[in-house]
Structure 1
Amino acid sequence: MTETRIAPLALYQEVAERLRQRIFAHELKPGTWVDEQALAEDYGISRTPLREALKVLASEGLVTLKPRRGCYVTEISERDLDEVFKVMAMLEGECARSSAGRATEAELGTLKAIHADLEKAASAQDIDAFFEANQAFHHELQRIADNRWLLHVIEDLRKVIKLSRHHSLFSEGRLEQSLAEHRALLDALLARDADAADQLMREHIRGGREALARIAEARNRVA
Structure 2
Amino acid sequence: MVDVTPLRRLSLHEEVATRLRHMVFERQLAPGDWIDELALAQQWQISRTPLREALKVLAAEGLVELVPRQGCRVTQMSEDDADELFPVMALLEGRCAFEAVRKATPAGIARLRQLHEALERHAAAHDIDGYYRANHDFHSTVQALADNRWLDRATNELRTFLRLLRGRQLNWPGRIEDSINEHRVLMAAFEQRDAARAERLMHDHLMAQLSALKALRAHEEEAKHHA
Q: Could you tell me how far 1:198 is from its partner in structure 2? A: 0.9
Matches of residues 34-113 of structure 1 in structure 2 within 5 Å?
Answer: 34-113=35-114
8 Å contact 1:92–1:202 — kept in the other structure?
yes
C-alpha change, 1:26 and 1:133, in structure 2 (3 Å) is closer
Moved more, 141-150 or 19-28: 19-28
The residue aligned with 1:186 is: 187
Secondary structure in 2 aligned to 1:151?
Answer: helix
The residue aligned with 1:6 is: 8
Secondary structure in 2 aligned to 1:65?
Answer: strand
Q: TM-score, normalised by structure 2?
A: 0.86
Which one-letter code corresponds to 2:45 in the other structure? G
Secondary structure in 1 aligned to 2:160?
Answer: helix
Which one-letter code corresponds to 1:50 in the other structure? L
The residue aligned with 1:222 is: 223
- Give percent identity, aligned residues only: 47
Q: Distance in 1 between matches of 2:23 and 2:209?
A: 23
The residue aligned with 2:154 is: 153
Unaligned runs of 5+ in 1: none
How many aligned residue pairs are there?
221
Q: Could you tell me how far 1:63 is from its partner in structure 2? A: 0.6
Which one-letter code corresponds to 2:13 in the other structure? Y
Which one-letter code corresponds to 2:154 in the other structure? V
8 Å contact 2:13–2:54 — kept in the other structure?
yes
Q: Could you tell me how far 1:94 is from its partner in structure 2? A: 0.7
8 Å contact 1:166–1:215 — kept in the other structure?
no
Q: Could you tell me how far 1:98 is from its partner in structure 2? A: 0.2
Q: Distance in 1 between matches of 2:53 and 2:138?
A: 33
The residue aligned with 2:133 is: 132
Q: Could you tell me how far 1:68 is from its partner in structure 2? A: 4.0
Q: Distance in 1 between matches of 2:61 and 2:27?
A: 16
8 Å contact 1:60–1:160 — kept in the other structure?
no
Q: Distance in 2 between matches of 1:81 and 1:201?
A: 17
The residue aligned with 1:120 is: 121
Q: TM-score, normalised by structure 1?
A: 0.88
Unaligned runs of 5+ in 2: none
The residue aligned with 1:170 is: 171
Moved more, 28-37 or 201-210: 28-37
Which one-letter code corresponds to 1:121 in the other structure? H
8 Å contact 1:95–1:145 — kept in the other structure?
yes
Q: Distance in 2 between matches of 1:105 and 1:32?
A: 44
Q: Distance in 2 between matches of 1:180 and 1:193?
A: 18
